[in-house]
Structure 1
Amino acid sequence: MHRPHALTWVACFLYASVLIAGLAVASTAPVDPVRLCAFAGAVLVAGALEIAEWRGPATRAVALAGLVVRTAVYAVITVLDGSGNAKVLFVLLPLTAYFTVGHRVAYTLAGGGLLLAGAVVIGRPALRQDPEALSDLLMFAIGIVFALAIAVIAEREETGRRRAETLLTELSDAHARLREYADQAVTLATVAERTRVARDIHDSVGHHLVVIAIQLEKSAAYRTVDTDTADRALAEGRRSARLALDEVRRAVGTLRADDTQFTLGCSLRALAARLHDPGFAVTLDLTGSEDTVGEPVRLALYLAAQEALTNARRHSGATAVAVRVDLTPTTGVLDIADNGTGFAPGTAEGQGLGGMRERLDLVGGEVRITSTSRGTRLLVTIPVVAR
């Protein structure tokens, strides 16, 4: 067990008190010098033993040997002491044992010491009738009880201090981990926000830029053949440019969000009208009520349709695309099929399809894409949460 430093100082204080009291009594009456020197030497040996155990290794064997040596030294000091105060030193035995060899040994020494002292006093008629002897026995018992009570209090205080230090260390470690987790959360949030911004730019601004490029190419191709068609394509390109500018402003927060509710049917019709031309026919079939699905689901379906139609217009070589949307109280379904050349299985998905899957994951949806040499089909299914 841990030996507190205060135990050494208490023991040395008692040794010094007994030594001073013994020397004071010796100065008032003739005393054998040899006996006095032996008395002082025994007290000094007891003090040296305390200091040696304080600085030495705290093993159980050493502690037990120290208790035996102390008992012998205290007996010698008591015999040589002319003041009669050395008996108080035996109180140190259970007190020291409590911290060095354990509670049981301390309680055994305390009980054994009290029984032995009581037997000596009661067993001798002269001491039994001596008020001073009875008073010494009572004070010895009080001293034993007081010493053990102080030991229990000191042990609990030491245990509480160590527990507080342990908790403080654990709290510091937890604080460090929490700070590390907070840094990781900030990093993940930053990455997630960058991914969201990139996805939004691709799905909104990127789409409008693709439409602008298509309409400008169409205007240039029809300029010498059909000026009306070329002018309409150029006007549509300007409109897409303004929409792209609005999206950019909304993305950087310079415009307030529009309070009007997003309408899937109107948005899909406008999308189909922008992409429809004689070489790329877009048909739209929308069934069900938009009131059965929430706006996040409607927006996810629209962005998936926008990505699929843009890809079909740019890469598939298709001349016709059929878009079917079915909104029910349980699911929102988007089915897009074209008559293009398709693509080979295992082809790496671009950022657009990756962003589509991420958006659908956010609302619990899934997408399946099948492609052959006769065309490509994209099927999106999103479960509808009860509103």
Structure 2
Amino acid sequence: MSVWLINLRIFMFLMISFFYYWRILDSDVFLKGVVIVAAVGFVLNHYLLFHNESFAYKLLVIYLDGLLSFGFGFLFPNSTLYLILVGVVAVTLFIVVAESKKHRIYGLLFVLLWLMVMAATYLQTGELDFLGNLLSISIVAFSAVVGNLIRRLIEASEVMNEQFLQLNVAHEELSVAHQQLQSYSHQVEEAAKIRERNRIAREIHDTVGHKMTALFVQMELANELIKYDLVKTKETMGVCMDLAQGALEEIRFSVRALKEEEETAFLPSVHRLIEGFYQSTGLQSTLELRGNPSNIQIALQLTIIRLIQESLTNAKRHGDASETSIKLDCLPEKIRMEIKDNGKGASKIIPGIGLKNMKDRITEMGGELVYESVENKGFRIFVEFPLAEKRWVIGGTS
């Protein structure tokens, strides 16, 4: 209960007690003593009411205040000021008690006591101020309504405070979860980088190692042919140069991929990748971006960069393409990407290491890959990553 309401309550008790005391004749020592005892009782009850949390204890104190208030009605039959005290008690009662059934019981007790005071007044004075009593009764009823509203306000305030505390706890838990999510995101990113580096290491071993082995075989053959046939020796040296050039390109691609791992900005990394590929191979590329790329999580950004790199490599290496088109749509619920080239294409697609790695990487991120090719009409891939929902179908039909 608010401090101002507590102070107003005891002020009303003492003020009404003082009015009664002031109206008593000096010769009537007994009544003055009763009023003083009642005032002291009000003060003690007020102190006890707000220093004990027991509901039954508070109810007992309110009963005592009510009896003291109605006692003024019996002792001073010509005054209805006691009903103001009863109104203060009613405010306190309706603040403490929440059950409407008990409100009706207390209301009935109040009416009975009020009728008893009116009967005693009529017996002592032969008069009955019905209008004055009715006015005072309306004040008591209004006090009860005010008490009920105050109780509801206090309950609402307590609920708001509890919800505020819960909100603070939820905010702290959300902050911790956010920090854990950031940490997990960094771990996922690092894991993705490690997987990508392992993949590049395997590709170096499989492709460059294969080309270097073939190069050594051709060089040994050229060393033997130089003694007998210079024409075939030159042809063999040409093959050696092609193998060396291919191995060099493989190494450049791998070094570029490892370098891109250290980049953090998504679009600048894509721009550098495309520009670097053009400078080293002459492959022209067009990038179309729609939507906000900031919706793409870091691990998925790395996957998209690797897909673009793999597509450009395949377009130049296997399709002998001169142009590629990259379209990236960043939607709130998904990411769509289409990459196509003007290479020589193929009537039948036999997935190699690059396409297999690409599909594994996309599946790992919950995405789908579709590719198609027509001979002499280039190669096209279409990739889609869901952001809000990931779905895998294992077995059966979908």
Q: In the alignment, which residue of structure 2 is the partner of 1:13? A: 11
Tell me the amino acid that sits aligned with residue 18 of structure 1: I
* Higher gyration radius (CA): 1
CA distance in 1, matches of 2:36, 2:87: 20
Q: How does 1:90-129 map to 2 (within 5 A)?
A: 90-102=86-98, 103-114=100-111, 117=114, 121=118, 124=122
Asked if residue 23 in structure 1 is aligned to residue 21 in structure 2, the reply is: yes
Distance 1:58-1:99 versus aligned 2 partners, 3 A rule: farther
CA distance in 2, matches of 1:40, 1:266: 102
Asked if residue 234 in structure 1 is aligned to residue 244 in structure 2, the reply is: yes
Distance 1:127-1:121 versus aligned 2 partners, 3 A rule: farther
| Aligned mate of 1:175, from 168, 171, 186 | 171
Asked if residue 165 in structure 1 is aligned to residue 166 in structure 2, the reply is: no
Contact 2:95 2:150 (C-alpha < 8 Å) held by counterparts:
no
Q: In the alignment, which residue of structure 1 is the partner of 2:61? A: 66
- The structural deviation recorded for 1:94 is 3.1
| Aligned mate of 2:189, from 188, 193, 196 | 193
- The structural deviation recorded for 1:119 is 7.4
TM-score (norm 2): 0.58
CA distance in 2, matches of 1:81, 1:31: 16
CA distance in 2, matches of 1:95, 1:215: 96
Aligned-pair Cα RMSD in Å: 4.6
Q: How does 1:33-48 map to 2 (within 5 A)?
A: 33-48=29-44
Q: In the alignment, which residue of structure 2 is the partner of 1:267? A: 314
| Aligned mate of 2:50, from 54, 68, 87 | 54
- The structural deviation recorded for 1:243 is 3.2
Tell me the amino acid that sits aligned with residue 177 of structure 2: Y
Q: In the alignment, which residue of structure 1 is the partner of 2:232? A: none
TM-score (norm 1): 0.60
Contact 2:208 2:247 (C-alpha < 8 Å) held by counterparts:
yes
Distance 1:212-1:73 versus aligned 2 partners, 3 A rule: same
Tell me the amino acid that sits aligned with residue 246 of structure 2: E
CA distance in 2, matches of 1:265, 1:55: 80
Contact 1:71 1:93 (C-alpha < 8 Å) held by counterparts:
yes
Contact 2:83 2:140 (C-alpha < 8 Å) held by counterparts:
no
Q: In the alignment, which residue of structure 1 is the partner of 2:132? A: 136
CA distance in 1, matches of 2:62, 2:30: 27
For structure 1, which runs of at least 5 residues remain unmatched after alignment? 274-294, 300-323, 328-332, 337-352, 366-381
CA distance in 2, matches of 1:222, 1:50: 108
What are the Cα deviations for residues 165-198 of structure 1, in whole angstroms up to 9, with x where unaligned?
1221222122223222322332232233333333
Report the secondary structure of 1:255's partner residue: helix
Tell me the amino acid that sits aligned with residue 69 of structure 1: L
- What percent identity do the matched residue pairs reach? 9
- The structural deviation recorded for 1:7 is 6.1
For structure 2, which runs of at least 5 residues remain unmatched after alignment? 224-236, 264-268, 276-284, 288-307, 321-335, 341-345, 370-380, 385-398
Between stretches 3-12 and 170-179, larger displacement belongs to 3-12
What are the Cα deviations for residues 291-323 of structure 1, in whole angstroms up to 9, with x where unaligned?
xxxx97999xxxxxxxxxxxxxxxxxxxxxxxx
Asked if residue 244 in structure 1 is aligned to residue 271 in structure 2, the reply is: no
CA distance in 1, matches of 2:7, 2:134: 25
- The structural deviation recorded for 1:44 is 0.9
Q: How does 1:143-162 map to 2 (within 5 A)?
A: 143-162=139-158
What are the Cα deviations for residues 303-347 of structure 1, in whole angstroms up to 9, with x where unaligned?
xxxxxxxxxxxxxxxxxxxxx9956xxxxx7489xxxxxxxxxxx
Report the secondary structure of 1:55's partner residue: coil
